[in-house]
Chains A and B, each alone.
Chain A
Amino acid sequence: MSADLLGPLMFAVVFLFIFAGYPVAFSLGGTALIFAFIGIELGLFSWNLLYAFPERVFGVMSNGVLLAVPFFIFMGTMLEKSRLAEDLLRTIGMLFGRLRGGLALAVVVVGAMLAAATGVVGASVVAMGLISLPVMLRYDYSPMLATGVISAAGTLGQIIPPSVVLVVLADQLGISVGDLFIGSLIPGLMLAGFYAVYVTGVAIAKPAAAPALPAEERTLDGAALARQVAVVMLPPMVLILVVLGSIFAGIATPTEAGALGAVGAIALALSRGRLTMKAVKETMDATAKLTTMVIFLLIGSTAFALVFRGLYGDIWIEDLLTGLPGGKIGLLIVANLAIFILGFFIDFFEIAFIVIPLIAPAARILDVDMVWFGVMIGMNLQTSFLTPPFGFAIFYLRGVAPRRITTVEMYRGVIPFIVIQLIGLALICLYPELVTALL
């Protein structure tokens, strides 16, 4: 067998194993070892190349950018475990509740604000599904609108800064986290705005699909509600704005801002009397596990990349991608299609670690703006997570939605949001200034 074939074969085999369902990090590492042995047996690969592995792991350990990952996870999880996120959704629901479609608007606002800090699709969709879906259904929201808006808002947080996946994506693309945060700000908020416009449109056109909350659910009014908003809604909003603002203004690095944001989240929980031992322990446990999961994914893909390069797989991919008809446009179309389809099955982190390193060099050769490229990948993946039948967001929401909502209703519910996403994606392709204007 020639070396030209081993690279592609390795790629095919690892996907086979990943789809069999064994943890991705170790499927990558194991496949790397198997192909290293095959390569050595065939005299195509040298064992010495593998001594770079511990050095790479050490590079991950001392990487100052990845250090931001546990901080942002800690901040988001703290807000969730201390049930501050839940309060937020309730309060905004009451604030907008008197309007038709108000509850759905509240979901969009909270999705944009909070999911930002967690950045893991599953977590935010499940949290919002548990809190707001029962309320929306109790007051006769159309199940399609309710599930659609929750799935869409839950994935929104991925591309609204400060999200963990953007930190990882910036690291993999070799750009600054701050730049990617800035670049994704307008597109992210634009999408949230489109969602809000759509929800309002439905409330006007089909009032029965999105009724206002009845008076008895709006337990607070006037001054009491204003106080509630000030206590519950403003502090987390200020926290997120301060974290982002300090990064954008160049006062703090993303890592520093993340650490301060985590302290801020602890302080918020404390001030609301929610800093229980249970909440702290759950936050620490979730942070440790999630951080480990992300970093080991990177370690596994590092081993994979090392062997893949040794077998010249990277050159194969690069030739493939830079030799596409249409040059830059051809690459963007193929990259978008590949990422969109992979997004059906694998989450943002796996794509960032496995696929991005393969595509990024070709994009750089063809002179694509890397910040814009990153935002486009984020938008694309977010659409992919929503798309039936595999969309991650639907998958997770299915798990917490009552049985009487059919999966088909959920599929139909997300379709308008997929259309909105595609419009958003088209807009940033046609007007790259949406990304680059603030840079």
Chain B
Amino acid sequence: MASAPTPGGFLARFVAWTDRLNTRLGVAVSWLTLAMVAVGAYNAVVRYLGRFTGWNLSSNAYLELQWYMFSLVFLLGAAYALLTGAHVRVDVIFSRLPERWRRRIDLWGSLLFLVPFAVFGLVMSWPAVRNSWAVLEVSSDPGGLPRYPIKSVLLVAFALLALQGLAEAARNWRRLRELKAGAEEEDLQQEGLL
């Protein structure tokens, strides 16, 4: 990646495209938090009512829907959280470094930690997902939901995370080149702005 001869068009378009994709997904899954609250509250009320009235409005499908949505939020939101800087970092030292060094840490962190980890997650999940599809795995509880779709989301999540990791690396690499090209004073001005 770092050896690409021209920094311009392709990388810039790749970063913009990935940002747009993951932002849309992030905004979409944020609505699931509201849906989760609704389903969670429904489950709680129905279980409580059921105890006194004997009505059984509760079902394993609704109970499982709750954690399916929870899983979708953090699996599909992971790349969006990366993009928006929501993954916590220990910034005692980081926040005091010049921009040049912060960009370098992010560049190498993406390439050495994040992308390999996401690819690892993808590769490791593959057999489990394939087995789940092979038997069209369904919840072991009566009335439960099929498992293979939610397990497949693992693959999507790690793929999106790897993609965003590459986009972050590209973004930081381009910015580092800019910093290098820019004059020393300009560099200092940017520090002040950030």
Contact = CB atoms under 8 A, between A and B. Distances in A.
Contacts of A345: 90, 92
Contact of B77 (A22, A64, A252, A289): A289
A255 B69 CA distance: 14
Interface in B39-73: 39-41, 43-45, 47-48, 66-67, 70-71, 73
B21 interface: no
A171 interface: no
Interface string A351-395: 000000000000000000000000000000000000000100000
B71 to A, nearest CB: 4
Contact of A293 (B43, B70, B86, B95): B86
B106 interface: yes
Contact of B66 (A29, A30, A67, A257): A67
Interface residues of A, number: 67
Nearest to A24: B88
Interface string B82-99: 101011111111110100
A139 B102 CA distance: 41
B70 A296 contact: no
B89 A21 contact: yes
B138 to A, nearest CB: 14
A235 interface: no
Nearest to A256: B44
A349 B88 contact: yes
Given A291-B33, A303-B117, A263 B109 contact: no
Contacts of A57: 121, 125, 154
Interface string A5-33: 00000000000011111111111011111
B156 interface: no
A288 B29 contact: yes
Interface in B103-127: 105-106, 109, 112-114, 116-117, 120-121, 124-125, 127
Interface in A56-102: 57-58, 61-64, 66-67, 70-71, 74
A260 B45 CA distance: 8
B74 interface: yes
A289 B79 CA distance: 10
B63 to A, nearest CB: 9
A394 to B, nearest CB: 12
Contacts of A297: 87-88
Contact of A292 (B45, B47, B78): B78
B136 interface: no
A251 interface: yes
Contacts of A296: 74, 78, 81, 87
A257 B154 CA distance: 29
Given A67-B66, A284-B33, A22 B109 contact: yes
A51 interface: yes
Contacts of B48: 251-252
Contacts of B90: 18-19, 21, 24, 345-346, 350
B44 A23 contact: no
A257 B124 CA distance: 36
A255 to B, nearest CB: 7
B31 interface: yes
A396 to B, nearest CB: 12
A291 to B, nearest CB: 6
Interface of B: 26-27, 29-34, 36-41, 43-45, 47-48, 66-67, 70-71, 73-75, 77-78, 80-82, 84, 86-95, 97, 102, 105-106, 109, 112-114, 116-117, 120-121, 124-125, 127-128, 150-151, 154
Which 3 interchain pairs have the tightest Cβ spacing?
A: A30-B113, A21-B94, A259-B40
10 contacts: A19-B93, A53-B121, A57-B125, A57-B154, A67-B40, A259-B40, A259-B41, A260-B44, A266-B37, A289-B80
